[in-house]
Structure 1
Amino acid sequence: MTVSTHMLRRRRFLPLFVTQLLGAFNDNLYKTAMVLFVVYEVYRSEEAGGVFSAVASLVFILPFFILSALAGQLADMRDKARIIRIVKAAEIAIMIVGATGLVLAWRGIAVDLVAVPLLMLALFAMGVHSTFFGPIKYAILPQHLRENEVLAGTGLVEAGTYIAILGGTILAGWIPVEFAAVGVVLTAVVGYLAGRQVPPAPAQGEVEPLDFHMLRSSIALVRNTSHDRRVFLAIMAISFFWTIGAVLFIQFPPLAKHVLTASREVASLFLVIFSIGVAIGSVSVNALLKGTVSARYSPVSVICMGLFVLAFYLVCRTWVPETDGTLLNVSEFVSHAMAIPLLLSLLGIAVAGGMFVVPLYAFLTTFVPKTQTARTIAANNIVNSGAMVIGSLIATGLSAFGLDLVHHLLLTAAMCLFSAWLGLLLLRAERAALAG
């Protein structure tokens, strides 16, 4: 029996795995259904669709930047299982609001005045939900798992997240929007029930008073986390990875519609392949490292990711769009001469990305005291979200100024080079620590 299989049979891991899987599924069912419906049915132009997709990403990311310090403090100072139950209960109310917005948009009732604001409000609230859940799903692992299980657990959480993204994205692209509205509420209820089964995970050290000053606590949190060079470099590398991911996810729906003249099912297919690829990469790097936490494969992984982004760009440049206003369905798209190279390039981006990022998350939970793991993840979320906000603003600005979506991909490839440099610095720091 493998370590991974063994953990999936134990209450100390399985309820958390199911809870985070359902949360990621619901996030993506809701976000993808909302973005695809608005891009394809409400805003018709490339510029408007690109701006909406970028603004939606910005709205979801913003709570991470504002509230991660408080989320990290709570997760380290309070019982993590209790926080999970509170957060998952709140998700039910949030999804009722989001479902209402989806139904109103579907019915064409007060779309700009009521439906879209409700959709954005629920998206922001889901960002708050994820901000408070995010530190827990990684920080609880060293508390419930043995030392030789942490990397495998991190890989399973990451792979499970992307499998959930896969499921949510497939459904969002293929089912009617009114079914998605019902689905997000039901999933939130099941997620709450699963979260109630997570074993207690009380604070590991002395309980300190919470600092509710958002700016001060965020700066202090990031500063305190930066003392270990390996952790600092891991945070920086993860941040650039998620900036790249944010820009790519912003691009997919409008790029599929306006550059590749493909239907929303094809846009969903892009997100599905990306999710499958990251899941494959997450599991593969754990097998290569054999449970050892190391950045050994990170620099070469992200360089490969950049090369695949460049290949994706070149295929998009040579793509001949439909001229009669029709959108290709999945079977028509797949039969296109350039479809296979395009999809393989996308899969390569995702596999390499998964191999790059999973060991970095393991750094954050392995090389800090267990009393500080949640705050370390929260510090990572602050820096990640700041970088992703910058990436979203850049994507929004480029779309607003009329730069075509294909050329956004070159920015993504350039960011991969910078991530590779950070990964190399982390590998050197890791070797220096071992030598010392």
Structure 2
Amino acid sequence: MTQHSQFALLRTRRFLPFFVTQLLGAFNDNVFKQGLIFVVLFGMAFSDKTGNLLVNFCHMLFILPFFLFSALGGQFGEKFAKDALIRMIKLAEIAIMLVGALGFFYNNLYLLLLALFGMGTHSALFGPVKYSILPATLREEELVGGNALVEMGTFLAILAGTIGAGLIMSGSHSAGLVSAAIVLVACLGYFASRQIPRSAAAMPELPLDWNIFRQTWATVQLGLRQRPAVSRSLLGNSWFWFLGSIYLAQIPAYAKDLLHGDKSVITLILTVFSVGIALGSVLCEKLSGRKVEIGLVPFGSIGMTLFGILLWWHSSDFPAATAAHDWLGLLGIGQAWWILADIFGIGVFGGFYIVPLYALIQSRTVETERARVIAANNILNALFMVVSALVAMVLLNVAGLSIPELFLVVSLMNVAVNTYIFKIVPEFTMRFLIWLLGHSMYRVRHQGLEAIPDEGAAVVVCNHVSFVDALLIGGAVRRPMRFVMYYKIYNLPVLNFIFRTAGTVPIAGRSEDPEVYEQAFKRIAQYLEDGEVVCIFPEGKLTTTGEIDEFKAGVERILSANPVPVIPMALQGLWGSFFSRDPSKGLFRRFWSRITVVAGQPLPADTGRLVLQEQVRALRGSVR
């Protein structure tokens, strides 16, 4: 099957108009918010203390609608056609920006605050439909790439809006220019939304509950009642925004007080951070193999912690300065490069962390609940951002920590929070170990795996070459698979954790342990009855020669009792690797060796074991 880059989505009508719509919305949000901050700090006769108080009030006023209206947005996202709903929200944005334009033009704080609250409401209503439309319009293998582009576009739009507002507000006709800009961008967003294809309502019969407090509580409960992988992903997602808010809120003071920089240094740090998240987001598709790979979440968490600690380390004893540096002056200091590398690393690994979480929430939530679950996520995000501000205030002003020490504390908190999440949902850790194996000791290629159906029961039969065959196959195949393996391999240390978490079925020879033998067939039958894919190694043992041994009769018993399609599969290139039984193997002899997982076309359930054996042998070919 031809593989296309995620950027190919930008050439499709089912994605590009939506992408442009949300990009312009994020850009406009930040042009308006930053413009308002400039007006409060420099355009009105407030004292420094009052101005700073008003800036913080503006941040809270923008977040407040997420508590009040996200639940309503979730209901709208289920009840109404998503494309029509987006157009209505974008029309409202034009009206809100007209109010904001009047506020800028007449230097009227009340109109500006009213427009700010309106933009927060706009974002609260847009969020649920924004993320629930992606699974409705993208194929499963496009979901990670689509989310990656959305996250990349959002953070680059935030950066562009922040910089753009600074440039506009520094001019001599700033009021007229910013007024025109926000209305123009809102209009462009509406025209882009008119090109979004039809996306039907998921639950048009849903009754609307206009009691925002009752529905907010019900929406949060709905999100937290989801299966553990989804509910903990909501918490992980909100924790990311907790961390992000801590870092972003401290950047101005960090740049001014510790790096001795001017406004251009703040812009430089924001640019490095945003580009890092954008790069990490777009790399997710390549690293995940075009599937929702939650194994990247622990990888991202580890990276954010590591670079957060390094940022604290490299921030100590920064050279003093007699005057504020501009960004070029900062780049002339060697220590600054380490600091910027740390900030970039936090951004990149943040992208690895957040994109799979969004994709998992979308892919594993029932369609008729998806918009409300995403609304619950938005409510939790807002709550965590408010808590992050309180935590920062306590640690900086009460505990007396420096900003680098605050970064160290939240990095260590990241370890604790994600350890809890990964303990409750061991699938994250299991998938991370599988992903790590497939991206360290082996380079895994895929061929013909589209033969494995997206839905419904099937049996996969494969040759057995090494102790990690199941891990490599599980990492290659998009659907979760249930493996049947010899119980002594199942009980191997470390690997047993992965096998248990993945629902692997241990099996023994009939004469070895009749109870384990019979119990295995019962579990296999139950998995197939539930519509899952079961992978077995019909040789019954690892090859000791590199050749395919005779298939045992157990595969015929399984297919006779459970008449489902059977798919032959072969592993190429594993013989001689460290985990095989090749007598001449070595740890580094075949390090990072290239292997291929290749599947053939489905065969009927009455296919004999010898025919299956020949099919697998033909797929493997001469590459052992």
- TM class by shorter chain equals 0.7 to 0.9
Residue 79 (structure 1) aligns with: 81
Cα distance in 1 for residues equivalent to 2:203 and 2:113: 38
Residue 510 (structure 2) aligns with: none
Residue 213 (structure 1) aligns with: 211
The reply to whether residue 281 of structure 1 matches residue 274 of structure 2 is no
1:235, CA displacement in angstroms? Answer: 0.3
Distance 1:90 1:230, change over 3 A: same
1:387 corresponds, among 381, 384, 388, to 384
The reply to whether residue 126 of structure 1 matches residue 119 of structure 2 is yes
Superposition pairs for residues 340-379 of structure 1, below 5 Å?
Answer: 340-379=337-376
Residue 185 (structure 1) aligns with: 183
1:206, CA displacement in angstroms? Answer: 4.8
Distance 1:185 1:261, change over 3 A: farther
| 1:358 aligned partner, one-letter code | V
1:233, CA displacement in angstroms? Answer: 0.6
**Aligned residues of 2:305 and 2:414 also touching (Cα < 8 A):** yes
**Aligned residues of 2:34 and 2:162 also touching (Cα < 8 A):** yes
Superposition pairs for residues 241-320 of structure 1, below 5 Å?
Answer: 241-320=240-319
Identity over aligned residues, as a percent?
38
Residue 160 (structure 2) aligns with: 167
**Aligned residues of 2:232 and 2:425 also touching (Cα < 8 A):** no
Distance 1:426 1:138, change over 3 A: farther
| 1:218 aligned partner, one-letter code | T
SS in 1 for 2:206: coil
Residue 134 (structure 2) aligns with: 141
The reply to whether residue 24 of structure 1 matches residue 26 of structure 2 is yes
1:399, CA displacement in angstroms? Answer: 5.9
RMSD: 2.7
Cα distance in 1 for residues equivalent to 2:310 and 2:51: 24
Distance 1:182 1:341, change over 3 A: farther
Identify the range of structure 1 (132-141 vs 411-420) with the bigger mean alpha-carbon deviation.
Answer: 411-420
Distance 1:297 1:5, change over 3 A: closer
2:326 corresponds, among 329, 339, 344, to 329
1:209, CA displacement in angstroms? Answer: 0.7
Cα distance in 1 for residues equivalent to 2:207 and 2:264: 49
Distance 1:3 1:345, change over 3 A: closer
| 2:128 aligned partner, one-letter code | P
Identify the range of structure 1 (291-300 vs 31-40) with the bigger mean alpha-carbon deviation.
Answer: 31-40
* Higher gyration radius (CA): 2
Cα distance in 1 for residues equivalent to 2:58 and 2:340: 25
SS in 1 for 2:226: coil
1:245, CA displacement in angstroms? Answer: 0.7
Residue 614 (structure 2) aligns with: none
Distance 1:388 1:143, change over 3 A: same
SS in 2 for 1:338: helix
Residue 422 (structure 2) aligns with: 424
Residue 96 (structure 2) aligns with: 94
Cα distance in 2 for residues equivalent to 1:36 and 1:327: 20
Give the length in aligned residue pairs. 424
Distance 1:96 1:118, change over 3 A: same
SS in 2 for 1:265: helix
The superposition leaves residues 14-57 of structure 1 with CA deviations (integer Å, 9 ceiling, x where unpaired) of 10011011111112222334446656787886x87876554443
1:232, CA displacement in angstroms? Answer: 0.3
| 1:363 aligned partner, one-letter code | L
Cα distance in 1 for residues equivalent to 2:165 and 2:389: 22
Cα distance in 2 for residues equivalent to 1:433 and 1:203: 36
Identify the range of structure 1 (129-138 vs 159-168) with the bigger mean alpha-carbon deviation.
Answer: 159-168
| 1:87 aligned partner, one-letter code | I
Cα distance in 2 for residues equivalent to 1:303 and 1:396: 26
1:147, CA displacement in angstroms? Answer: 2.1
Distance 1:211 1:434, change over 3 A: farther
Identify the range of structure 1 (293-302 vs 95-104) with the bigger mean alpha-carbon deviation.
Answer: 95-104
| 1:160 aligned partner, one-letter code | G
**Aligned residues of 1:50 and 1:396 also touching (Cα < 8 A):** no
1:407, CA displacement in angstroms? Answer: 3.8
**Aligned residues of 2:17 and 2:195 also touching (Cα < 8 A):** yes
TM-score (norm. length: structure 1) = 0.88
Identify the range of structure 1 (121-130 vs 413-422) with the bigger mean alpha-carbon deviation.
Answer: 413-422
Cα distance in 1 for residues equivalent to 2:271 and 2:71: 32
| 2:275 aligned partner, one-letter code | I
TM-score (norm. length: structure 2) = 0.63
Cα distance in 2 for residues equivalent to 1:52 and 1:213: 30
The superposition leaves residues 362-412 of structure 1 with CA deviations (integer Å, 9 ceiling, x where unpaired) of 111101122221111111111111111111233345566576544432343
1:95, CA displacement in angstroms? Answer: 2.5
Residue 150 (structure 2) aligns with: 157
SS in 2 for 1:65: helix
**Aligned residues of 1:84 and 1:133 also touching (Cα < 8 A):** yes
Identify the range of structure 1 (65-74 vs 183-192) with the bigger mean alpha-carbon deviation.
Answer: 183-192
Distance 1:414 1:67, change over 3 A: farther
Cα distance in 1 for residues equivalent to 2:316 and 2:115: 36
Identify the range of structure 1 (384-393 vs 54-63) with the bigger mean alpha-carbon deviation.
Answer: 54-63
Structure 2: any 5+ residue segments left out of the alignment? 431-499, 504-526, 528-624
Cα distance in 1 for residues equivalent to 2:420 and 2:52: 30
**Aligned residues of 1:39 and 1:254 also touching (Cα < 8 A):** no
Identify the range of structure 1 (218-227 vs 384-393) with the bigger mean alpha-carbon deviation.
Answer: 218-227
1:118, CA displacement in angstroms? Answer: 4.2
1:121, CA displacement in angstroms? Answer: 3.4
Structure 1: any 5+ residue segments left out of the alignment? none
2:65 corresponds, among 63, 71, 90, to 63
Cα distance in 2 for residues equivalent to 1:180 and 1:421: 45
Distance 1:404 1:378, change over 3 A: same
The superposition leaves residues 116-143 of structure 1 with CA deviations (integer Å, 9 ceiling, x where unpaired) of x544433332211111111111100111
